[in-house]
Amino acid sequence: MLVRPLSGNPPKTKLPKGAVDTQMHAYLPGYPSLPGGPGLPAGDLPTPAQYRELMRWLGIDRVIVTQGNAQQRDNSNLNACLAEFGPIARGVCVIDSATSDEELERLAAAGNVGARIMDLPGGAVDLSELEAVDAKAASRNWMVAVQFDGSNILDHEARLKAMKSRWVFDHHGKFFASVTPDSPQVDAVKRLIDGGKCWFKFAGVYESSKAGGPDYADVAAVAREIARYAPERIVWGTNWPHNLAREQKDYPDDVALTDTVLGWFPDEAGRDLALVKNPEELYGLPAWADGRD
């Protein structure tokens, strides 16, 4: 098992009541990996029960479970995990142009509120299906999580601007080529945010940072700029259990990572928006009220 045991002190950053982790994966036995995606780890799987320990440790109240690439277009594991989590969780599943209305109904009944596009190695559905996935998501009032190499966002800006659904630019934009707050790619993100449909997700900083931890200065500079520009359009996620292929020695410290990334907001008000109100709007969650989802 590659999940780091929880120990030590909780984050210095106190998460507000109703905080939502908008990016994580969980797995249950009996759902094998499928061709085209990464394999599952040998031994114990990162389960909903393990993640609940992380929730208590960090102060998370609600969670968005994202379909893992290991199971590609088979959402069975995701649906089982949503049932295991209960009402604190919603899902972002994988659909495509062939997904039937009946299947969409089943996915919605299981607790799914969004669909995933991942145009990177191992992804189940890429940008070639963007319009089809967007149309099906819009028909359900779902959101769409879009992940690709953000260095190429200018090539896709017109298509993204035309989306009918609410959507989030995933994983800090994954700008694999170096960008700065003054880069045209960041200007494109701002224009898309201004269009009224786009959010920006703080999650998985280590996947695109060239500067590396503990500060991730390159991604931090862009994140701070976007958080300053549109604090009402940022959401946050742990990306737990991080990269299942990582060696234990490289496994992120969830407390340090939480404090670092949440420190990029200009103030507490902006951070609290990203943790509660923004994800409620993006994912269509009920307003939090005294522990009730």
Q: For residue 263, which phi and psi values (nearest 5 degrees)?
A: -80, -5
| Annotated catalytic residue, options 77, 79, 239, 278 | 239
Total Cβ atoms within 10 A of residue 262: 19
Active-site residue flag, 239: yes
Nearest residue to 4 via CA among 248, 219, 181: 248
Instruction: State in Å, rounded, how far the first CA of the chain is from the last one.
Output: 31
- By the 8 A CB rule, do 204 and 235 touch? no
Tell me the sheet residues that pair with 143.
Answer: 114, 166
Tell me the sheet residues that pair with 144.
Answer: 115, 167
d(CA 105, CA 286): 20
Residues involved in catalysis: 239
